[in-house]
Every structure is written in structure tokens, then in C-alpha cells.
Structure 1
């Protein structure tokens, strides 16, 4: 059994008793931490894991941050402008322009929250393509702004490494971000 499958089995155990494992009694948010180099393997496993959860009477809804990001960028009406200035613009200027669109009125986070809030148990949400947040947002920001707004288990597939019991290093090159309030599985 691969370490990804072992982490998934551990996640299943945690999903079985989320209240007893979350002393803060906060939202049912779980970080599934995996090595960034395992990204493609993880994406191949998602269908298998969804099927396994269906066998356990859970209905899985997948929210792709990649799809949401592109939708928001497209709806901004700025795409053509960015393509025009891209050859002469600095990378940081373009990143800031995209960041502004995603964070204006917390657009990305509000879109995620709206999709999650429309669901009722026995749903479980797989939040995938979290790597797309780089360099615009950190997953910690997403978690903090979703606080008290998650009615169903949310599994954040997090490319990075664990740093101690409650810390994470996004994509393996960002500094440690500690004191996550959610349940962290994997990444050891």
C-alpha cells in the first residue's frame, strides 16, 4: 500500500469520529498532506477514493481550485489586457493583477464557501488543485476565512510537508505556517 493510500485510510478513521478528534470543535476541515512530487499519483487516486467513500454512504463533491481560478479570471474581463501586456510586464506585476482579481471582495474564498454551503450531509468535499493558490493566497488564509462556514467535511488536498504537529510547509518551499486548527493527516 502506498503512503498516499495509507494516508487515505487514516483519513477514513478520522472522518468516522471528527468530533472526538477536533478538540476546538471547529469546522470539519481536514488537510490531506502529500509530497508535491506525488501530485500526479494523487490525482489518479481521487476517483478510487471517491468510489470508496460512496461505498461508505458518502457523496463526494469535488471543488477544483484550478477551475474556480480560471472562471474568476475569465469573468474579470481582464484576460485580454493581461495577454497584451504580458510580454513587457514583470512577473510580479502580473501576479499582483491576478491576486487582486481573486482577493477583491474575497471572490475566490466566497465562491468556495458558496459551493460548500449549498451541500448537506452525507456530502464530503474534496478541495483539489490547492497548488493553484501559489503565489496568490495561502491555504491558511482560505481556512481562516471559511471558519464557521463549513457544514460538511472538507478535505483539502495539500501539496507540502508537515512541520511539527500543527504546522505545514506549502509546496515544500514556503516557510512553516503553524497552528492550523484543522485535523492534519499525512505528510510525515
Structure 2
């Protein structure tokens, strides 16, 4: 089994190939750096070193944390107090919260628009690179595979998704190691 360092070095080789090495395949320049869920803390601790190495490789990496982005959205939202009340109630109320919250995230395009905003800001940078971290914050509300599908054709810079989970087949991943395999990913999986 590859270590996180070995996976990162493999990722670096892909990134050094440039965006043109993927575009002819019909894929967007999206890479999933896959690591077991129990290594999430290690991956977070390694992020400063990863960023430093990417800068040495000539990239201008930008990090989009799902945790930070969702927290900011939640804190500003007009339904925040109602959602918080629903969390402290019965199991049925918590299930209703999950459904309502998921629907709001999708309807308001919270994650899709946050990624598009970052891509827009990076598109004129020929060395731009987007890193999407803290994917576990999406659980159990959204699936990154659906978000990737909505953004197909819009990834203008290489985008690396730090994916806590396991690989299945050549195109399937299992989020957090607890969800069933999902084969709807159209990207390169490393790990």
C-alpha cells in the first residue's frame, strides 16, 4: 500500500504533465488523492509540506476547504436557528434536517459555486492549481461525484481533491470507506 508521500509524488508527476496531457483524453484536469479515512488527520498535517513542494514545482496552489466554506455559509444563513433547533430534537427531526439541509446546499449551489469562484480566480494563472480539502464536511449531505459532474468542462486549472476513502475499480471510489462504491467519477485516481 502506498504511503501518502508516495501518492503525492505520483500526483506531482501527473501535474508536471500539464493540463494538455489530460484534455485530449476528454477528461477535465481533476485528480483524486485517495487515502484511508483513518489517515485524514495525517493528510491535514501534511498539507503545509504539500503546498510548499507544489510551490517549489512552480505551481500557485490555492486551498478550498469544504469545512471552512460550509461553516461560513451556515453561519450566515437565515435558517440557521431553525436548523440548530432541529438537530437537538428527535431522530425524525434530525432526518428532516438532513434532507432540508441537503436540498438547500444543492438548490443554492453552495459547493458548485464556491468551486467555480476559485476556478474563475485561477483561470488566468498558467501555474494555478486548486486543492479541495476537508471533503468529509460534505457527509452525509452531498457527494463530490455529483458536484464533479455538474462542473464537467469547467475545470480550467488542475484540481486536486483530497479524498478520504478507498478505491474500488478503475473509476470507482468509496467515500470515507463506508459508502457503497460509486463509479461516477471521471477523473484520475491516485492511491
Question: TM-score normalized by structure 2?
Answer: 0.90
Equivalent runs, 1:88-167 vs 2, <5 Å: 88-89=89-90, 90-119=93-122, 120-167=125-172
Contact 2:22–2:29, Cα closer than 8 Å, also in 1:
no
Question: In the alignment, is the contact (CA less than 8 A) between 1:69 and 1:102 conserved in 2?
Answer: no
Q: Kindly indicate whether residue 186 of structure 2 is the aligned counterpart of residue 185 of structure 1.
A: no
The residue correspondences of 1:50-89 to structure 2 (distance < 5 A) are: 50-89=51-90
Please say if residues 117 and 150 of structure 1, whose CA atoms lie closer than 8 Å, have aligned partners that are also in contact. Answer: no
Question: 8 Å contact 2:86–2:94 — kept in the other structure?
Answer: no
CA contact (8 A) 1:72 1:101 kept: no
Quote the Cα distance in structure 1 between the aligned partners of 2:174 and 2:33: 13
1: CA distance between counterparts of 2:129 and 2:108? Answer: 26
Deviation at 1:107, TM superposition (A): 2.5
RMSD over aligned Cα atoms = 1.6
Normalization by structure 1: what TM-score? 0.91
State the distance in 1 between where 2:24 and 2:172 align: 17
- CA distance in 2 between counterparts of 1:109 and 1:44 reads 26
What is aligned with 1:14? Answer: 14
Aligned length: 185
Structure 1 residues 85 and 25, CA, compared in 2 at 3 Å: closer, same or farther? closer
Structure 1 residue ranges (4+ consecutive) displaced by more than 3 angstroms after TM superposition? 18-23
- CA contact 1:73–1:98 (8 Å) conserved in 2: no
Residue 109 of structure 2 aligns to a residue in which SS? helix
Counterpart secondary structure, 1:118: helix
- Distance in 1, matches of 2:12 and 2:153, equals 22
Of the structure 1 ranges 21-30 and 76-85, higher mean CA displacement relative to structure 2 is found in: 21-30
Whether 1:29 aligns to 2:30 is: yes
| Greater shift in the superposed pair: 18-27 or 32-41 | 18-27
The residue number in structure 1 matching 2:46 is: 45
